[in-house]
Amino acid sequence: MGNRSVVPFGPQHPVLPEPVHLDLVLEDEKVLAAIPSIGFVHRGLESLTSKKDFNEMVYVAERICGICSFMHGMSYCMALEDIMNVEVPRRADYLRTIWGEMSRLHSHLLWLGLLADGFGFESLFMHSWRLREKILDMFEASTGGRVIFSVNTIGGVLKDMPADMLKDFVRQLDEMEKEIRETTAIFLDDYTVKSRLVDIGIISGEDAIRRGAVGPMMRASGINVDMRKNGYGAYNDIDFEVITSNKCDSYARCEVRIGEIFQSIDIIRQCVAKIPDTEINTKVTGMPNGESIIRVEQPRGEAFYHVRANGTKFLDRFRVRTPTFANIPALAQTLQGCQYSDVPLLVLTIDPCISCTER
Amino acid sequence: MTIQTRVLFAVLYVVLTPFVIGLLDGFDRKISARMQGRRGPSVLQPFFDLKKLFEKEFLTANKMQLFLIRSYLCFIVLSGIIFFAGFDLLLVIFSLSTAAMFLILASTATHSPFASQGTSRELVQIMACEPMELLVAVGFYLATSTFTVSDIVTKSPVANIRFLPGFFVGFVFILTIKFRKSPFDISTSHHAHQEVIKGVTSEMVGKEYAMVTIAEWYENAILLGIVGLFFVSSNILTVIGAVIAILVVWFLEILIDNTSARVKWQLMLKLAWGTTIVAAGMNLFLLEIIRG
Amino acid sequence: MAKIHKSPWLLHYDGSSCNGCDIEVLACTTPVYDVERFGVINTGNPMHADIFLITGGINSQNEAVVKQIYDQMPQPKVVIAVGTCACTGGIFKECYNIKGGADTVIPVDIYVPGCAARPESIIDGVVKGIGLFKEKAAALAAQSKA
Amino acid sequence: MEVLVTALICFPFLWAILPAVIHNSKRRAFTVYLGCGIVMVLSVFTAIQWYLAGGQTLDFRLPYQEAFGEIFLWGDIFLMCFITYLSYKHNRLIIAFLSIISTVVPTILEKFGPELPAGPTMRFDWLTFIMVLIIGVVGSLIGVYAVGYMHGFHIHHHKEVTDRRSFFLSMIFVFFGAMFGLVTSANLLGLYFFWEITSVTSFLLIGYTRTDEAINNSFKALWMNLLGGCGLAVAISVGIIYFNTANLYTLIAAAVKTPTKMLCLLPIAMLAFAALTKSAQFPFSGWLLGAMVAPTPSSALLHSATMVKAGVYMLIRLSPAMADNYVGNMVALIGGFTFVAASCFAITVSDGKKVLAYSTISNLGLIVACTGCGYEETIWAAVFLVIFHAVSKSMLFQCVGAIETTIGSRDVEDMQGLMSIFPKLAFILMVGIAGMFLAPFGMLISKWAALKAFIDTSSVYVSTLMVMFICFGSATTMFYWTKWMSKILGASKREKSRDLTKKNEYISMFFHAFMMISLILGFPWLSEHVLKPLSNDMFGVVKQVISYENMVIMIVLLCGVFVIPFINYLLTKGQKGKKVITYMGGANAGDNFNFVSATGDPREMDISNFYMEDLMGEKKLFTPAILISSFIIVVYLIIVVGGALQ
Amino acid sequence: MGQFLPFSKQVLKNLFSEPATTQYPFVPREYPERTRGHVDIDKDSCILCGMCMRSCPPGAIKVDRAGKTWSINRFDCIQCGYCTEKCPKKCLSITPGYQEPGPEKFVYMVEVPYEPPKPAAKPATPTPSQS
Amino acid sequence: MQELKTDLFLIDKAELLNIIMEKKNALWRLCQICCSYPKAEDHFEITYSFANGQELANYRLIAEREEEVPSISRVYKSAIYYENEMHELWGLHVENIKQDFHDKLYRIDVETPFLEKEEKNDGE
Ligand code: SF4
Ligand code: SF4
Ligand code: SF4
Ligand code: SF4
Ligand code: SF4
Ligand code: SF4
Ligand code: SF4
Ligand code: SF4
């Protein structure tokens, strides 16, 4: 029968702020096949190790992605600290944890907004982003940047947060929490929203593992994995439960991320309460030699850093496997058989970050 | 109704609609923005947009498009004239769907993936609304024994909404679709961020797009006119009530737009038809019983 | 203060940015910055767009895309390069797959520097773009009359 | 007049021998053209003759009526034997059974039953006038078209099918004769004979290619039509036994007089049942779809444009007897239901011929519904629909056939961009489609009148349901036509190629288009001078169905449909527009037809319409539709039969 | 309202309260002190060592020892602050206020008074940019 | 198999498929595959990382420049991307990838940028 459409989707497309391309085979609007294609953002920044020394690479790592830039900078520094056997001062660990959780907050709010935009709920999008702006203001007050912070350095962090600033942040978060609760309730309760999320893009726990999914994508399929439980940074001092859901659909992914928003607020509170008063960085000398693998739980899931140094200031290998990269095979599976209108939504439910995927 | 008043109304419709509906559109954008916690554009923004669109260079993927769009516009205006000059309501609806066909032809003439997918959606949308539109005419016929708009107004001693609550509910429901508000997967929805881009209007550049916008305004005027028709009677004062009703419905549509996600067309079709069958069907049945 | 009432519709394309600038562009449309005050609508469609906001540098794959989108925009049109990457290639300019800023493929009218470019800065750029757009529109009108 | 009518009936039967015996292709073609020409002239001449004579209803007996009576009788028996033989050969004994029952019972009654008064056996009135014109003009154009088409079919496309063109062409003539007989007969026995002939010729034409599918479908058509024949037989028997007449009009008059007496309704119900099968209403729509296996489009269009009209013709005849009673309700509900259901199915298929088949069923549904309502307005609408439908369907089928020959496919999706490569064909297709649903073409006016009449129907349930059926049905109808239209206007992917359509095919098609347009333009005249007397004939009242005011608006709209685009076309022709490639998210591979795919290579873009198979596909809804419609029929028949037996 | 339009409460509240929108550019924005806006030089302390030039990741800074100028292409700078850390004289700083957008990418250049052998140097005027 | 570091094992080609199957059956997930070409060593190092819950295991395969390595994409579908990437950026020959993009995953202009550069740097 001739009633099949073969159409391109992207790279430039209003529902995708980032360029992704899909070849879609549709019957009516049912997706029979979806072949993702990447490479529109590929820069090849891993190769910069041969041109920039390992210190400058901190700034490159930060710019792998503008959403979790902090976490990238941090992971990179952690890898080098591991190689060079540097003991990071405890306060730096705590500060990193606080900023990291703030990143998660801002990333999840951003994601909620984009999701709302994806299913055409404009006012909810605006609402989520308005809330996110407050987090950005905190970032700007503490680091001087809204999305790229440049506060990480090998051996610790560059800027401290004074006690009153921390207190003020906690107060602001307390205030926001109520508003966030009101807003996120819409995602979980509204009939129209549910009609777009429930039972859309189901992927079972086993499939998620087979496809190598990570992060909320995996936790929404009932798999209890969270790299923070490995206890890097200050997480070994923090009390938190991994949030999972057994529904395996888009709604579950939404649920997990919303749960993590409140969890992040809670972790920040705990950190502020426990933060020790030490130095914020240690001086690092010498050249790195050796290799290290670091896994960090970014908002989108596990990021995998593999750094290999050879005793010069230019690294041998700097490998980042970002969460989105790992989630793409799972995405390809969920796209099979979905509706055309679900395509952007499903792309969004893995919380894609193409720039980090393609580096 | 004398021929003079008919002509007068028709002329008023043709002349005033762009200003009135354009302004309403401007307020719509302002109110939506405020509902989202934003300041929003000036209420005159729709007119600036139009002006700009007319000034743009004319690019086209298929020359046929322009003439089809002009025909679309002409037909919408023609339907409006039939309506406001007080002629047959059923014919208004038929000629509106003829107009819609021109729009559809215009969008598919280009072989663009988004316009074509949008067209299919547009078609579904028309299919979802059409039964209810026809039923509205049926409802008026049942209440007043005529399809003629002028007779409906002059011959009803009380506002027809009394007999037609179900029809009204159904009609307001499909208005959400007709006004291209977000709750449904509508290709020409005013929110661009959807998978079919701007649907049927994806390939329309500059003045083509401007004409489609104007046509939409003219169409909205007819639809709001039908809303008003539920509330007017031979008593001239009921016009005030009708205007208030129109504004309330209009506000309701904005509110719905801002408080719901865009649902898929399958659900749209089910909901629209479901509401039509339940609300209008029940009302129809009861009216038939009353008439015996 | 005089308001800027024009209606430039934006088209945003992410060349090979790190997202930092993209989300700042998006942030401009959200309540706190709300560029719709100036009639700006973030349309996704080059056929409707007046202002092309491009973030990130140009690489071998998106070169053709950028060029094509630019060509599909009707005159008058303004191109704004947002972020250091789009201006010069920024920190990535030495990467093997980066050819440089947006001006390597299309003429750029306004450069908005910053990494990431701040919303205020983007608004400034857009406002300047609107000015330029007005000039270009006038020039086009004059040309078509002639 | 008598002579003319007799000639009209007999001539095609006799002429049918010629193509059957002439095997030289050229000469045979010539005889067919000549025959068709004569049929057309004869029918038009007859009609005009009658019209000029004042358009009075004529009741008369055929010359040599007794001889004809014998021919009918032995003809019936011959057909019965023929069917029995075939069904025996193909092991379908149930069909033989149906045939034997339906033939033997009336034959016995006629031979050995009560002596019937020798009344008039034929009638020529306004409805006959219209039918004769339709059959004569549309039918003979189909004949002309068939010659060229069948030539192409055998010589160029289907070399594997045995060339039985002689048989095919002669069947067409047999068919004409039967149709003429059918619409002029007043005597049910005669009518029954012609009725059976149409069933059998249709059976033979469907099985033309002798593939397994064709044979299966032809038997399907046969048994459904024979079932209808049984209904007819019952009606005849009841008429003879209880009313002592075999005259259709006497039975109708009896039912009109005492509409509450079930016994009077019984023959009407049976006749209506027969008509429902012939007009392919649910649950009997299967045969018309099956008929599409026959060579496109000749037999298909014979079926869709003319043969099915036999059914609705009968219903229109019966409609005064169906106003506001059980039979009428049954017919209206079945019709309304078929209207909606078939148009839903039409959405889900992409084979052009199948779309046409479903749309035929759907439109017939609307006509049937109108007749079931039994009001002047609805009959007005029904007759209009019959006229418009005959012309535009015939045109559409011919056009799809020609397109199939030319582009090698009749799939709607493959017709993309036809406008730019074969503008002539596309134009005809567009006119046909526009005629089917656009305001203010014929179909739409009729819908308008029907809707109005249904609101006024006195039965609350029927009225409510019918209004809903029409509203939903028009929405779905619009959907499949518009999507087809949009496909034709789309950008073409094909290269311009040679148009393989024969000249005579074009002649036929353009003639249709011309008729279509003149019908639309002449529509007020038609309403005034043909339909009003018709209504007067049947109901004894003359009603202004459509107000003068609306007529004006419609004419304005009509002009609009032609003039507005034309003016706009002229105005925009000189526009200088820079050409750009269409927007594909920046993925175009240089033109509008290919994009850069995920693997980096250009890939062809395909765009297709919605078919909603998941929502309303045949697989999902066909069985429920059959069940619902069977239920309606069974319930109403039980009411009527039960009431009659009391 | 349960499942149906639960958002209307907040939406209506928004409608009748002050929008969150800042009035920028009609009202200037106040930045927190840590804001990383642009790199500034205290040209009097610069010793033209070139450390900043070599460390700058995108290579935005040019130090010309012979011409005695220090220049920065602000359209190239990513405000990472690495130069400020590396500068031995701590004469670079990142201060609020960003480079204004413009139609051209220009270079901001200052003449540095530092004179390695001879301590006495003419006071040089910085060439103002066209911003 | 030889343990180089905690959780990092050196394996040879023959062992690879066994290990992969073992991991697959125990429901480990493929974390990543990393290819590198250390300047000093002058061969490819391909590291396969698997995770199960919080656990991690890495297996390293050494391959010479022109040596072919087997694809694991038929066991772990998600390996398609990693393997295509290795081929496109490093020029590592991977046999029989399930969905081979033929160097058009990223569609870059430079041929095997990582390998060429490492070569040049060697000379420095
Ligand atoms: S998902 Fe990607 S494109 Fe979308 S906002 Fe985040 S970073 Fe930007
Ligand atoms: S996943 Fe993407 S968005 Fe998240 S931190 Fe990593 S690079 Fe950034
Ligand atoms: S300028 Fe900076 S923030 Fe913007 S895209 Fe480039 S690296 Fe990202
Ligand atoms: S259209 Fe098909 S079936 Fe018909 S003649 Fe041509 S090839 Fe044969
Ligand atoms: S670090 Fe020392 S040796 Fe190297 S450039 Fe700077 S001053 Fe010269
Ligand atoms: S802030 Fe960073 S980019 Fe800017 S000049 Fe300094 S080192 Fe270079
Ligand atoms: S600014 Fe600082 S680092 Fe740069 S040249 Fe001057 S002294 Fe050296
Ligand atoms: S301060 Fe450091 S960089 Fe500057 S001259 Fe001395 S050693 Fe070199």
A77, two tokens: 């520094």
Q: How far apart are CA A178 and CA A188, in angstroms?
A: 15
Q: What distance in angstroms lies between residue C17's CA and the mean position of ligand 2's atoms?
A: 13
Confidence of residue D505 (pLDDT cuts 50, 70, 90): confident
Q: What is the pLDDT of residues D312-340, one digit of tens each?
A: 888 888 888 887 788 888 888 888 889 88
What is the count of structural domains for chain D? Answer: 1
Q: Where are the domains of chain B?
A: 3-291
Q: How far apart are CA A39 and CA A42, in angstroms?
A: 5
Q: How far apart are CA F50 and CA F58, in angstroms?
A: 6
Task: With CA atoms as reference, report the closest residue to A73 among A47, A95, A42.
Answer: A95
Q: What is the pLDDT of residues D602-637, one digit of tens each?
A: 777 777 778 887 777 777 888 888 888 888 888 888
Confidence of residue D441 (pLDDT cuts 50, 70, 90): low
Residue F123 burial (CB < 10 Å; 0-12/13-18/19+)? exposed
**Range of D144's domain?**
1-321
Cβ E51 under 6 angstroms from ligand 5: yes
Residue E14 and residue B34: Cβ atoms within 8 Å? yes
The distance of Cα F120 from the centroid of its chain, to the nearest Å, equals 22
Q: How far apart are CA A353 and CA A64, in angstroms?
A: 10
Which residue has tokens 């299309």? C106
Specify the pLDDT at position D495. Answer: 67
Provide the 3-class DSSP secondary structure of residue D247: strand
For F:85-124, CB contacts with A below 8 A are: 89, 105-108, 113-114, 117-118, 121
Q: Is pLDDT above 80 for F110?
A: no
Q: Please, are residues D306 and D142 in contact by the beta-carbon 8 Å criterion?
A: yes
Mean pLDDT (whole number) for B229-244: 86
Q: Please, are residues A148 and A62 in contact by the beta-carbon 8 Å criterion?
A: yes
Q: Ligand 5: which of E47, E52, E54, E83 to mutate, judged by most atoms within 8 Å of the beta carbon? A: E54
Q: Is the Cβ of D586 closer than 8 Å to some Cβ of chain F?
A: no
Confidence of residue E1 (pLDDT cuts 50, 70, 90): very low
Residue range C4-145, CATH number: 3.40.50.12280
Confidence of residue D494 (pLDDT cuts 50, 70, 90): low
Q: How far apart are CA A18 and CA E18, in angstroms?
A: 33
Residue E97 burial (CB < 10 Å; 0-12/13-18/19+)? exposed
Q: What distance in angstroms lies between residue D361's CA and the mean position of ligand 4's atoms?
A: 23
Q: Please, are residues C25 and A68 in contact by the beta-carbon 8 Å criterion?
A: no
> Which of C45, C68, C69, C106 to probe by mutation at the D interface, max D CB count within 10 Å?
C68
Q: Say which residue, D365 or F84, is predicted with more confidence.
A: D365
Q: How far apart are CA C131 and CA D4, in angstroms?
A: 85
Confidence of residue D158 (pLDDT cuts 50, 70, 90): low
Q: Is the Cβ of D577 closer than 8 Å to some Cβ of chain C?
A: no
Task: With CA atoms as reference, report the closest residue to D231 among D324, D315, D335, D112.
Answer: D315
Q: What is the pLDDT of residues B117-134, one digit of tens each?
A: 888 888 888 888 888 988
Task: With CA atoms as reference, report the closest residue to D384 among D144, D130, D74.
Answer: D130
- The minimum CA-CA distance between B98 and chain C, rounded to whole Å, is 26
Provide the 3-class DSSP secondary structure of residue B217: helix
> CB neighbours of D226 closer than 8 A, spacing ≥ 6?
D83, D95, D98, D99, D102, D199
Bridge partners, F93 (sequence order): F68
Range among B196-200, D398-402, E117-121 rated most confident = D398-402
**Is residue A4 one of the residues assigned to a domain?**
no
Q: Say which residue, B185 or A351, is predicted with more confidence.
A: A351
Which pairs count as long-range contacts for A125-131, CB under 8 Å and 24+ apart, including other chains? A125/C30, A126/B36, A126/B37, A126/B38, A126/C30, A126/C31, A127/A183, A127/B36, A127/B37, A127/E10, A128/A183, A129/C26, A129/C27, A129/C30, A129/C31, A130/B37, A130/C30, A130/C31, A130/C32, A130/E20, A131/A176, A131/A179, A131/A180, A131/A183
Which residue has tokens 């893009």? A201
Of ligand 1's listed atoms, the one at least distance from the Cα of A66 is 7
Which residue has tokens 């870059």? F108
**Is residue A6 one of the residues assigned to a domain?**
no
Specify the pLDDT at position B113. Answer: 80
Looking only at the bridges linking them, the beta strands covering A156-157 and A152-153 are antiparallel
Q: What distance in angstroms lies between residue B77's CA and the mean position of ligand 4's atoms?
A: 45
Alpha helices in D259-304 (DSSP H): 262-278, 286-290, 298-301
Q: Ligand 2: which of A68, A302, A328 to mutate, judged by most atoms within 8 Å of the beta carbon? A: A68
Residue A45, H or E segment: none
Strands (E), D32-175: 58-60, 122-124
Bond prior to D283 in cis (omega within 30° of 0): yes
**Share above pLDDT 70 across residues of chain D, in percent, rounded to a whole number:** 93
**Chain D residues close to F102, C-beta within 8 Å:** 599
Specify the pLDDT at position D111. Answer: 75
Q: Is pLDDT above 70 for A265?
A: yes
Confidence of residue D300 (pLDDT cuts 50, 70, 90): low
Q: What is the pLDDT along chain C (146 residues), one digit of tens a residue?
A: 345 567 888 888 888 888 888 888 888 888 888 888 888 888 878 888 888 888 888 888 888 888 888 888 887 888 888 888 888 887 888 888 888 788 888 888 888 888 878 888 888 888 888 888 888 888 887 877 76
Strands (E), chain B: 59-60
Which residue has tokens 């069923």? D361
Range among B176-180, B242-246, F9-13, F97-101 rated most confident = B242-246
Q: How far apart are CA D307 and CA D291, in angstroms?
A: 12
Residue A122 burial (CB < 10 Å; 0-12/13-18/19+)? buried
Confidence of residue D444 (pLDDT cuts 50, 70, 90): confident
Confidence of residue A317 (pLDDT cuts 50, 70, 90): confident
Q: Which CATH number does the domain housing residue A70 bear? A: 1.10.645.10
Q: How far apart are CA A186 and CA A192, in angstroms?
A: 10
Specify the pLDDT at position B183. Answer: 65
Q: Is pLDDT above 60 for F117?
A: no
Q: How far apart are CA D445 and CA D435, in angstroms?
A: 11
Indicate which ligand has the atom closest to the C-alpha of D293: 4
Residue B141 burial (CB < 10 Å; 0-12/13-18/19+)? buried
Confidence of residue F122 (pLDDT cuts 50, 70, 90): very low
Residue A3 and residue D609: Cβ atoms within 8 Å? yes
Q: Is pLDDT above 80 for B31?
A: yes
Comparing B25-29, B212-216, C3-7, D429-433, which segment has the lowest mean pLDDT? C3-7
How crowded is residue D540: how many other Cβ atoms within 10 Å of its Cβ? 9
Q: What is the pLDDT of residues A181-216, one digit of tens each?
A: 888 888 888 888 888 888 888 888 888 888 888 888
A140, two tokens: 């700007």
Specify the pLDDT at position B189. Answer: 62
Range among A91-95, D66-70, D529-533, D545-549 rated most confident = A91-95
User: At A30, phi and psi to the nearest 5?
Assistant: -85, 130
* Chain B residues in contact with chain C using a Cβ-Cβ cutoff of 8 Å: 29, 33, 36-42, 44-45, 48-49, 51-52, 55-59, 192-193, 197-198, 201-206, 209
User: At D99, phi and psi to the nearest 5?
Assistant: -65, -45
Q: Is pLDDT above 50 for F119?
A: no
Looking only at the bridges linking them, the beta strands covering C9-14 and C41-42 are parallel
Mean pLDDT (whole number) for D514-532: 79
Q: Is pLDDT above 80 for D479?
A: yes
The distance of Cα D443 from the centroid of its chain, to the nearest Å, equals 14
Q: What is the pLDDT of residues B62-104, one digit of tens each?
A: 777 888 888 888 889 988 988 888 888 888 888 888 888 888 8
| Subunits close to A (at least 3 CB pairs below 8 A) | B, C, D, E, F
> CB neighbours of E118 closer than 8 A, spacing ≥ 6?
none
Specify the pLDDT at position B115. Answer: 82
pTM of this prediction? 0.87
How does the average pLDDT of chain D come out, rounded? 80
Q: How far apart are CA D177 and CA D182, in angstroms?
A: 8
**Is residue D388 one of the residues assigned to a domain?**
no
Specify the pLDDT at position F120. Answer: 44
- Write the DSSP assignment of B172-200 as a string of letters: HHHHHHHTT-TTB--TT-S---STTTTGG
Q: Please, are residues C68 and E52 in contact by the beta-carbon 8 Å criterion?
A: no
Confidence of residue D423 (pLDDT cuts 50, 70, 90): confident
Q: Could you say which of F107, F110, F113 has the minimum Cβ distance to residue C61?
A: F107
Task: With CA atoms as reference, report the closest residue to D581 among D598, D593, D599, D569.
Answer: D593
Q: What distance in angstroms lies between residue A344's CA and the mean position of ligand 2's atoms?
A: 19
Show the 3-state SS of E61-79: EEEECCCCEEEECCCCCCC
Q: Is pLDDT above 70 for E129?
A: no
Q: For D474, what's the count of Cα atoms within 13 Å in the CB-facing half-sphere? A: 28
Q: Please, are residues A120 and A193 in contact by the beta-carbon 8 Å criterion?
A: no
**Share above pLDDT 90 across residues of chain A, in percent, rounded to a whole number:** 0
Name all domains of chain F by residue range, CATH numbers in brackets: 2-118 (3.30.460.80)
Q: For B222, what's the count of Cα atoms within 13 Å in the CB-facing half-sphere? A: 30
Show the 3-state SS of D543-573: CCCCCHHHHHHHHHHHHHHHHHHHHHHHHHH
Q: How far apart are CA D241 and CA D247, in angstroms?
A: 13
- Write the DSSP assignment of C15-65 as a string of letters: SB--SHHHHHHHHHHSTTT-GGGGT-EE-S-GGG-SEEEEESBEETTHHHH
Query: How many interface pairs between C and F have CB atoms less than 8 angstroms apart?
Result: 16
Comparing A232-241, D291-300, D416-425, D604-613, which segment has the lowest mean pLDDT? D291-300
Specify the pLDDT at position B192. Answer: 56
Looking only at the bridges linking them, the beta strands covering C78-82 and C51-55 are parallel
The CATH number of domain E48-112 is 3.90.79.10: no
Q: Report ipTM (2 d.p.).
A: 0.85
Residue D588 and residue C68: Cβ atoms within 8 Å? yes
The distance of Cα B129 from the centroid of its chain, to the nearest Å, equals 10
Cβ C23 under 6 angstroms from ligand 1: yes
Residue D604 burial (CB < 10 Å; 0-12/13-18/19+)? exposed
Q: What distance in angstroms lies between residue D217's CA and the mean position of ligand 1's atoms?
A: 58
Provide the 3-class DSSP secondary structure of residue D257: helix
Instruction: Please tell me what DSSP assigns to residue B232.
Output: -
Mean pLDDT (whole number) for F30-51: 81
- Region for B241 from its dihedrals, namely left if φ exceeds 0, alpha if ψ lies in -120 to 50, beta otherwise: alpha
Residue A7 and residue B113: Cβ atoms within 8 Å? yes
**Chain D residues close to B64, C-beta within 8 Å:** 489
Q: What is the pLDDT of residues E55-98, one digit of tens each?
A: 888 888 888 888 888 888 888 888 888 888 888 888 888 887 77
**Residue A242 identity:** V
Q: What distance in angstroms lies between residue E68's CA and the mean position of ligand 7's atoms?
A: 11
Which residue has tokens 């349930």? D461
Q: Is pLDDT above 60 for A329?
A: yes
What is the count of structural domains for chain A? Answer: 1
**Share above pLDDT 90 across residues of chain D, in percent, rounded to a whole number:** 0
